[in-house]
A and B are shown apart, each in its own frame.
Chain A
Amino acid sequence: MATGILMTFSFEIPLLLLLLVTAVGAVLVQDLISAILLLGSYSFFLALVWAWLGAVDVAFVEAVVGAGLATVLFLLTLFGTAPRVSRLRLPPPPMAALVSLPLLGLLLLYAANDLPQFGDPQSPPSTHISPTYLEQSYQDTHTPNVVTSILMDYRSLDTMIETVVIFTAGIACALLLRRHSS
Chain B
Amino acid sequence: MVDLLLALFQRPNFLTFVIIFLWGFYIMLTRYNLVKKLVGMYLVQTSVIFFLVSISAKQGATVPVLLTTTDPVQAVDYVNPLPHVLTLTAIVVGVATLGVALALCAAIYRKYGTLDEEEILKKLQ
Which residue of chain B has its CB nearest to the CB of A110? B4
Contact of A146 with B46 in the complex, beta carbons under 8 Å:
no
- Which of A5, A146, A162 is B93 in contact with, Cβ under 8 Å? A162
Q: What's the dominant secondary structure at chain B's contact region?
A: helix
Contact of A16 with B75 in the complex, beta carbons under 8 Å:
no
A19 and B20 CA atoms in complex are apart in Å by 9
**Contact (A133, B4) CB under 8 Å given A27-B27, A112-B14, A169-B96:** no
Contact of A65 with B35 in the complex, beta carbons under 8 Å:
no
A107 and B3 CA atoms in complex are apart in Å by 15
A157 and B69 CA atoms in complex are apart in Å by 26
Residues in A whose Cβ lies below 8 Å from that of B54: 53, 118
Which residue of chain B has its CB nearest to the CB of A119? B59
Contact of B63 with A56 in the complex, beta carbons under 8 Å:
yes
Residues in B whose Cβ lies below 8 Å from that of A65: 91-92, 95
Contact of B58 with A119 in the complex, beta carbons under 8 Å:
yes
Q: A interface, how many residues as a size bin? A: 35 or more
**Contact (A58, B84) CB under 8 Å given A32-B35, A176-B107:** yes
A130 and B118 CA atoms in complex are apart in Å by 49
- Which of B12, B25, B88 is A147 in contact with, Cβ under 8 Å? B88
Which of B's residues lie within 8 Å of A, judged by CB? 3-4, 6-16, 18-27, 29-33, 35-36, 38-40, 42-43, 46, 49-50, 53-59, 61-66, 69, 72-73, 75-76, 78-85, 87-89, 91-93, 95-100, 102-107, 109, 114-116, 118
7 further contact pairs, Cβ within 8 A, besides A62-B46, A74-B35, A97-B29 = A77-B106, A78-B35, A81-B115, A112-B11, A144-B65, A147-B81, A170-B96
Which of A's residues lie within 8 Å of B, judged by CB? 2, 5, 8-9, 12-13, 16, 19-20, 23-24, 26-27, 32, 35-36, 39, 42-43, 46, 49-50, 53-58, 61-62, 65-66, 69-70, 73-74, 76-78, 80-82, 85, 88-91, 93-94, 96-97, 101, 104-105, 108-110, 112-113, 115-121, 123, 125-126, 129-131, 133-135, 137-138, 144-147, 150-151, 155, 158-159, 162, 165-166, 169-170, 172-173, 176-177
